Homo-oligomer: A and B are copies of this chain.
């Protein structure tokens, strides 16, 4: 029995709100249950120095949590003067995942910067960020297309992400905070709409896990991500 009463393979209520703020080229509020993340996509002309003159674009991401998005206030990273290891790890993951969704050559010399800022955290902030940022990125691409700055479609495929884990011996889908902080194993999966794997990051928090559990978790992730991608499609069709 899960604390939330959900089935083992059941997602939380997921909601994707586009045009959430007014300035960004793509702006999405994504909610996985009580986890709420603002994902803003900003387009700029030009690329970072290491890509100059190669005729391709770039996609990158930054991640942050409001100090009181969590149960106990965390110190503000801007005031401590550096981003923590967890933050850097997550924003590298988001950037890498979104670059897998796009043909950088077709994007041309534009940079899309994704900012994922967690307003309220209840487990799964990185997977919600990736799922929301993908929609914001599509809106940013559409913005470039509407403005005739881009005549091709650099989007290769939608991607989405969900967490899975082993909780009280049972593989479960989309862990909330209570499950996450007590899980034996925690795994984040990123997949494409055609079912390809982009990232698999599994960690034994307590006992090691075995291949059978790994397979069950991946099964859960596959069907959860399929649902998320369907929700992205519906949102983008509005």
Residues of A within 8 A of B (CB): 21-24, 27, 34, 36, 38, 40, 42, 44, 62, 64, 66-71, 73, 76-79, 81-89, 91-92, 96, 100, 113, 115, 117, 119-121, 187, 191-192, 194-204, 207-211, 214-215, 218
Beyond A42-B68, A85-B92, whether A76 also contacts B115 by CB under 8 A is yes
- CB contacts (< 8 Å) of A207 on chain B: these are 196
- CB contacts (< 8 Å) of A88 on chain B: these are 84-85, 88-89
Task: Output the nearest chain B residue to A67 by Cβ-Cβ distance.
Answer: B115
Q: Are B83 and A78 in contact (CB under 8 A)?
A: yes
Q: Are B100 and A208 in contact (CB under 8 A)?
A: yes
The 6 closest A-B pairs by CB, nearest first: A196-B208, A85-B88, A77-B78, A40-B68, A42-B73, A78-B78
The complex places the Cα of A21 from the Cα of B121 at a distance, in Å, of: 10
Copies of this polypeptide in the complex: 6
A132 to chain B, nearest CB (A): 14
Q: Are B200 and A201 in contact (CB under 8 A)?
A: yes
14 CB-based A-B contacts, threshold 8 Å: A21-B36, A24-B73, A27-B68, A62-B67, A66-B117, A73-B115, A77-B78, A78-B78, A88-B89, A96-B203, A196-B207, A198-B204, A201-B201, A211-B215
Known contacts A21-B36, A200-B202; can you find 6 more A-B pairs with CB under 8 A? Answer: A21-B66, A21-B119, A38-B66, A88-B89, A89-B89, A196-B204
Q: Are A200 and B214 in contact (CB under 8 A)?
A: yes
The complex places the Cα of A119 from the Cα of B85 at a distance, in Å, of: 23
Q: Are A23 and B214 in contact (CB under 8 A)?
A: no
- CB contacts (< 8 Å) of A218 on chain B: these are 211, 214
Q: Are A78 and B85 in contact (CB under 8 A)?
A: no
- CB contacts (< 8 Å) of A192 on chain B: these are 208
Q: Are B204 and A202 in contact (CB under 8 A)?
A: no
Q: Are B198 and A208 in contact (CB under 8 A)?
A: yes
- CB contacts (< 8 Å) of A89 on chain B: these are 85, 88-89, 92
